[in-house]
Amino acid sequence: MLSNAAVEQFEREGYRRIDDAFPRALADEARAILWRDTGCDERDPRTWTRPAVRLGMYAQQPFVQAANTPALHAAFERLVGEGRWLPCGSVGTFPVRFPSAVDIGDAGWHIDVSFGLESPDFLSWRANVASRGRALLMLFLFSDVGEDDAPTRLRPGSHRVIARRLAPAGEAGMTLGDLAREEFSETAHLPEAPASGLAGTVYLYHPFLVHAAQPHRGTRPRFIAQPPLLPAAGGLSIARRDGDYPPVERAIRDALAES
């Protein structure tokens, strides 16, 4: 169970790191599957010819077990609310990054939008102030990720800025194209934190946390997944009749109260 101090840090900074969220043995099993699908030889760096390989959805046993440990379920309950989230049936896609000096142009700051995904134009996908379609964004480390191993970059506190930006758009929300028009410059003054850690570490992000990839300057490939935690029926709300707001919703309400 997350402590009160941990919850306060999540509300303030927009993320929480959970060490040993799933066993390293599961990470090793999952990584063996991923290595096979990259088409590369783990023991031969000469086969690591691309800066990144994007792999599809993974729902095999080690992935699903990693996403549904008692520690993670307890954290979901604490941050999203009892019965207000759905267990993970997969861990989504994997952007596998290999050591490389090549910039492939995918390291811009962004948030992960959450509805309108049926459109073939990803810039038309949307997010709204109640985070329709997403309760949390999660980052699963299936390999050790040091500061040179292309850890995802986070902007602590940016979720509060984005909540205030989304609020005037109401239920309809904003498209990714509109949100990204100024490259999230309104959050550029905030500090930057690397999402590093050992295999088995999970970061739980507020849905509005601004984050970015970066090139890999280390020596070993990096394996991470960034699946959403889906809300149960009814989704999140920032206008509950009973006033029973979990931390993920309370962070939005507090941000709007500051505007």
Handedness of CA 8, 242, 206, 259 (dihedral sign): negative
pLDDT at 240: 95
Read off the pLDDT band of 1 (50, 70, 90).
confident
Average pLDDT over residues 49-69: 96
- Under 8 Å between Cβ of 12 and 188: no
Read off the pLDDT band of 181 (50, 70, 90).
confident
Residue with the two structure tokens 């394996």:
223
- Under 8 Å between Cβ of 73 and 1: no
pLDDT at 103: 84
Average pLDDT over residues 192-214: 98
pLDDT at 162: 98
**Confidence check: pLDDT of 141 > 80:** yes
pLDDT, the chain, mean: 96
Q: Which domains does the chain have, with CATH numbers?
A: 4-258 (2.60.120.620)
Average pLDDT over residues 152-162: 98
**Confidence check: pLDDT of 203 > 90:** yes
Please, which residues have CB within 8 angstroms of residue 25's CB and are 6 or more apart in sequence? none
- Distances, alpha carbon 143 to alpha carbons 79, 215, 259, in Å: 25, 16, 40
pLDDT at 106: 87
Nearest to 153 by CA among 123, 116, 122, 190: 190
Segment 79-124, tens digit of pLDDT: 999 999 999 999 989 999 999 988 888 889 999 999 999 999 999 9
The SS3 assignment for 28 reads helix
